[in-house]
Amino acid sequence: MIRKILLSFILSLVFLAGFSQRVYTREEYIKTYRKLAISEMQRTGIPASIKLAQASLESGNGNSQLSLKSNNHFGIKCKNDWKGKRVYHDDDHRNECFRRYGSVEESFIDHSNFLMANPRYGELFTLDITDYKGWAHGLKKAGYATNPNYPALLIKIIEENKLYLYDQGIDPQQIARIATPKNGTDNGSTLINPYITRKVVHRNGLRSIVVKVGDSPQKIADEFGLKTWEVFRYNDLSENRRLRENEILYIEPKRNKAHKNNEVHIFEADDNMHYISQRYGIKLKKLYRLNRMGENEKPSNGDAIYLRKKKPRN
């Protein structure tokens, strides 16, 4: 009798446990995996916004059975070339084969590798890294999902949660964005420097890099055939300024105005004028002039910073 009562009690606990599974919100999911998405963006050029939106949508914010059973957060099926572990799950058809990973990080990395290795997604990598709408529609066009509303669903997640800010490098640590090469430079040559030491990408049509641990002005100058003073001048830096990991650095002179797609920047508390000039590839002095500001003057939170045309007089 006691055994029956004990067994019944244990079964009840198991039953209740099935209903007490922790359900994660979208906000929690994004906060948990945003650094991983940014890291993959830096490695591969896939926008962090797209990465997070896809993962959130495909995994139900990490709550789906597929993601819980196999750490598969992107719904990637086995395919013929998959040599790793497998799990079977009902999707478009019953008992379909999906990739199984040892961790969520493996899933994020394999998703990037999957897109990069498949020629049908090649066109996506010619888009600007801030063009999340182009990526959303391009994924559907290339056959990533069968749902005709897939682009709209991704865009909705991105815009509701302001995920596009991660693509633009806006966060308190000013994590620099890595733009995807547009099939080479403006003249068709490769964007990788001759020493194959790091990715070189275009911002505002200019060659730029991201500072790594151990970088110094002298090291970068030697790497790209520049004078040390050019590294400082091209980036509006004083000669006693230390380089900061993950900041954007140009290896040619910046322009007098931003790209035509960037008319205005809304100033936020963590911004400063030098950061804005680096982000959009504009000379710092020219940026002050465009906005009728004195040098070292700081805008207020919410102010519009003009990037192409001169700020209208009040």
Q: How far is CA 90 from the centre of its chain?
A: 31
- Give domain status of residue 211, yes or no: no
Alpha-carbon distance of 127 to 79, in angstroms, equals: 26
Q: Based on the domain organization, do 147 and 36 belong to the same domain?
A: yes
Q: Based on the domain organization, do 160 and 268 belong to the same domain?
A: no
For residues 230 and 168, which has the higher predicted lDDT (pLDDT)? 230
Q: How confident is the model at residue 202 (pLDDT cuts 50, 70, 90)?
A: confident
For residues 277 and 184, which has the higher predicted lDDT (pLDDT)? 277
- Give domain status of residue 71, yes or no: yes
**Which residue matches tokens 């056959």?**
143
pLDDT in tens, 228-266: 999 999 999 998 888 988 888 998 999 999 988 889 999
Q: Based on the domain organization, do 36 and 147 belong to the same domain?
A: yes
pLDDT in tens, 112-134: 988 888 888 888 888 888 899 99
> Which among 150, 167, 184 is the end of a domain?
167
Q: Based on the domain organization, do 161 and 272 belong to the same domain?
A: no
Task: Inform me whether the pLDDT recorded for 18 exceeds 50.
Answer: no
pLDDT in tens, 56-99: 999 989 998 888 989 999 988 887 778 889 888 776 677 788 88
Q: Based on the domain organization, do 276 and 153 belong to the same domain?
A: no
- Give domain status of residue 72, yes or no: yes
- Give domain status of residue 106, yes or no: yes
- Give domain status of residue 122, yes or no: yes
Q: What is the pLDDT of residue 169?
A: 62
Alpha-carbon distance of 282 to 301, in angstroms, equals: 20
> Which among 143, 167, 191 is the end of a domain?
167
- Give domain status of residue 183, yes or no: no
Tokens of 203: 């911002």
**Which residue matches tokens 């994660």?**
24
Q: What is the pLDDT of residue 137?
A: 95
For residues 144 and 197, which has the higher predicted lDDT (pLDDT)? 144
Alpha-carbon distance of 144 to 131, in angstroms, equals: 18
- Give domain status of residue 229, yes or no: no
Q: What is the pLDDT of residue 254?
A: 94
List CB contacts of 30: < 8 A, sequence separation 6 or more: 52, 56, 161, 163
Instruction: Specify the amino acid at residue 36.
Output: L
Task: Inform me whether the pLDDT recorded for 2 exceeds 80.
Answer: no
How confident is the prediction for the chain on average, in pLDDT?
Answer: 81
What total of structural domains would you count in the chain? 2
**What's the pTM value of the predicted model, to 2 decimals?**
0.51
Alpha-carbon distance of 77 to 35, in angstroms, equals: 25
Q: Based on the domain organization, do 30 and 162 belong to the same domain?
A: yes
Q: What is the pLDDT of residue 91?
A: 65
- Give domain status of residue 189, yes or no: no
> Which among 167, 189, 221 is the end of a domain?
167
Q: Nearest Cα to 131, choosing from 259, 302, 267, 264?
A: 259
**CATH code at 116?**
1.10.530.10
Which whole number is the average pLDDT over 210-217? 88
DSSP per-residue string spanning the chain: -HHHHHHHHHHHHHHHHHH------HHHHHHHHHHHHHHHHHHH---HHHHHHHHHHHHTTTTSHHHHHH---S--B--TT--S-EEEE-SSSTTEEEE--SSHHHHHHHHHHHHHH-GGGGGGGGS-TT-HHHHHHHHHHTTS---TTHHHHHHHHHHHTTTHHHHTT-STT-PPP-PPP-SSSTTS--SS-TT--S--EEETTEEEEE--TT--HHHHHHHHT--HHHHHHHTT--TTPPP-TT-EEESS--BSS--TT--EEE--TT--HHHHHHHHTB-HHHHHHHTT--TT--PPTTPEEESSSPPPP-
Q: What is the pLDDT of residue 221?
A: 87
Q: Based on the domain organization, do 150 and 278 belong to the same domain?
A: no
Q: How many CB atoms lie within 10 A of CB 218?
A: 11
**CATH code at 278?**
3.10.350
Q: What is the pLDDT of residue 304?
A: 92
Q: How many CB atoms lie within 10 A of CB 292?
A: 13
Question: Could you tell me the residue range of the domain that residue 302 belongs to?
Answer: 264-306
